[in-house]
Amino acid sequence: MRLLITGVISLILLGSLSARAEAGLFNPESFTLDNGMQVVVVPDHRAPVVVHMVWYKVGAADEPPGKSGIAHFLEHLMFKGTAKLAPGEFSKTVAANGGRDNAFTSQDYTGYFQSIARDRLELVMSMEADRMVNLQFGEQDMITERQVVLEERRQRTDSTPQGQFYEQVAAALYLAHPYGTPIIGWEDEIIRLDLEDALAFYRKFYAPNNAILVVAGDITAAELKPLAEKYYGVIPANPEVIQRELPHEPPHRAARRLTHSDPRVAEPSWQRMYIADSVNWGNPDHTLGLQLLSDILGAGSTSRLYSELAVNQNKALSIGAWYSGVNRGPGNFGIYASPAPGVSLEELEAAIDAEIDRVLTDGVTAEELERARTGLLADAIYMRDSLSQGARVFGSALSAGVSIEEVESWPDRVRAATLEDVRRAAEAVFRPERSVTATLLPEERS
């Protein structure tokens, strides 16, 4: 089963996009092929292993109206083979050479990756470049894989009350933006996807000048460049490729509420999502403050919401917050909670609103900011232990239009963040008219 990624790697890519890092975060090397394909190398020579990733700057947000799910559907079809490779042979070849491979689709990009020994890198590069332009699939392949996608949707979304709930919350959050459409697609539209839909999407968006090659591991740019030119550099650029300008999200003028109930739900839960500034939407200068704010409010047992509502007031069994802002379109800021026994959802919501009001009135403390700062910087250091994390950071950042320099300067911006940055971010995001408050309830039995 292929992977659906809706919003990953926002942790180390956020903030005021200005200063240059004194010490690099990953110290990558980069070059661009003559056909427009950007290449990033993240050297790590601790083991003779590499992660090879190709990121296409196209995702679910780029789908034509009425064709939801086509980006993810094509991701599945990319494993159907070429004139050189039989269906399924790509993954079998990777596995036979001691590696692993997979793919993922998000709103903004689609990625394909292989983790493999350094001396097998050329093999996977040749296969990935082949399917960039020589993909072959027929009507029966399309019918079979469409059923796989439909079954995946049933397992991930339709068969779980939580999956249905989160899908409806996202749909309610956006008034016009395609981020409100699920990445996997709406079932009634998936059913109607056909061979020509998939081929048209492939021909329009899969080209070297709409792709980013990221290789992390035991290799240098000097070693990779001849291979990149040999396999990817010979593929002609597609002059018709133009990254779609995403639809405008109109002003939000009223808070929205949503309730979903299901007999399979054991305990009620509460969630609120806000439209938020991102690196490409609203005010990008708020993104670092929003990341710090989400950490202060809801990251772990020492966060403000958990320590106050779960420990001190005993009103929540679980509670937390998140922020996603490395997007081509709007970001989102969320808070989730489950009430303690005997506490109503209304009482829990009132307590959460009181904490939000306290942040807006009094701000956060210097101690809270320093704890969040230390945690984020530590997480960034730990990320260096993973080959794939560095590759994912640069792929997702570059797909969103963030530069390598901005990624590398992130630690400096975290160190320079102030209480005022967090206060301004809180004022920008905590606006009721830009929110959806949702409750998931056990269905009452008569």
Q: What is the CATH number of the domain that holds 106?
A: 3.30.830.10
- 26 plus 164 within the same structural domain: yes
Residue 188: CB atoms within 10 Å: 9
Q: Which of 421, 437, 445 is nearest to 165 (CA)?
A: 437
In a domain, 150, yes or no: yes
- 129 plus 266 within the same structural domain: no
- How many residues comprise the chain? 446
Buried residues in 345-356 as b, exposed as e (16+ CB within 10 A): beebbebbeebb
Domain count, the chain: 2
Q: Which of 313, 368, 305 is nearest to 337 (CA)?
A: 305
- 164 plus 76 within the same structural domain: yes
In a domain, 278, yes or no: yes
Asked if residue 140 lies in contact with residue 418, where contact means CB atoms within 8 angstroms, the answer is no
- 177 plus 292 within the same structural domain: no
Using one digit for the tens of pLDDT, what is the confidence trace for 136-145? 999 999 999 9
What residues contact residue 239 under an 8 Å CB cut-off, 6+ apart?
A: none
Q: Which domain holds residue 282?
A: 256-442
In a domain, 353, yes or no: yes
Confidence of residue 247 (pLDDT cuts 50, 70, 90): confident
What does the pLDDT read at residue 287?
Answer: 97
In a domain, 273, yes or no: yes
- 261 plus 221 within the same structural domain: no
- 13 plus 124 within the same structural domain: yes
pLDDT at 339 over 60: yes
In a domain, 429, yes or no: yes
What does the pLDDT read at residue 444?
Answer: 65
- 326 plus 424 within the same structural domain: yes
75 part of the active site: yes
Rg, Å, the chain Cα set = 23
- 36 plus 169 within the same structural domain: yes
- 152 plus 269 within the same structural domain: no
Confidence of residue 312 (pLDDT cuts 50, 70, 90): very high
Confidence of residue 15 (pLDDT cuts 50, 70, 90): very low
Portion of the chain with pLDDT greater than 70, in percent: 94
Which residue out of 63, 75, 145, 167 is catalytically annotated? 75
Asked if residue 360 lies in contact with residue 427, where contact means CB atoms within 8 angstroms, the answer is yes
In a domain, 426, yes or no: yes
Q: Give the position of tokens 């292993």.
A: 49
Domain final residue, candidates 216, 231, 246: 231
In a domain, 130, yes or no: yes
Using one digit for the tens of pLDDT, what is the confidence trace for 191-212? 999 999 999 999 999 999 999 9
Enter the pTM of the model.
Answer: 0.92
What does the pLDDT read at residue 2?
Answer: 39
Which residues is 217 bridged to in the sheet? Answer: 43, 50
What does the pLDDT read at residue 242?
Answer: 77
Q: What is the identity of the amino acid at 308? A: E
Mean pLDDT (whole number) for 321-336: 97
State how far the Cα of 101 lies from the Cα of 117, in Å rounded to an integer.
12
Question: Could you give phi then psi for residue 95, rounded to 5 degrees?
Answer: -65, -40
Portion of the chain with pLDDT greater than 90, in percent: 89
Confidence of residue 21 (pLDDT cuts 50, 70, 90): very low
Residue 432: CB atoms within 10 Å: 14
pLDDT at 9 over 60: no
Mean pLDDT (whole number) for 254-276: 96
- 268 plus 142 within the same structural domain: no
- 188 plus 318 within the same structural domain: no
Using one digit for the tens of pLDDT, what is the confidence trace for 177-195? 999 999 999 999 999 999 9
Using one digit for the tens of pLDDT, what is the confidence trace for 414-440? 999 999 999 999 999 999 999 999 999
Range in 67-81, 117-131, 343-357, 432-446 with the lowest mean pLDDT:
432-446
Q: What is the mean pLDDT of the chain?
A: 93
- 284 plus 378 within the same structural domain: yes
Q: Give the position of tokens 């997007």.
A: 327
In a domain, 236, yes or no: no
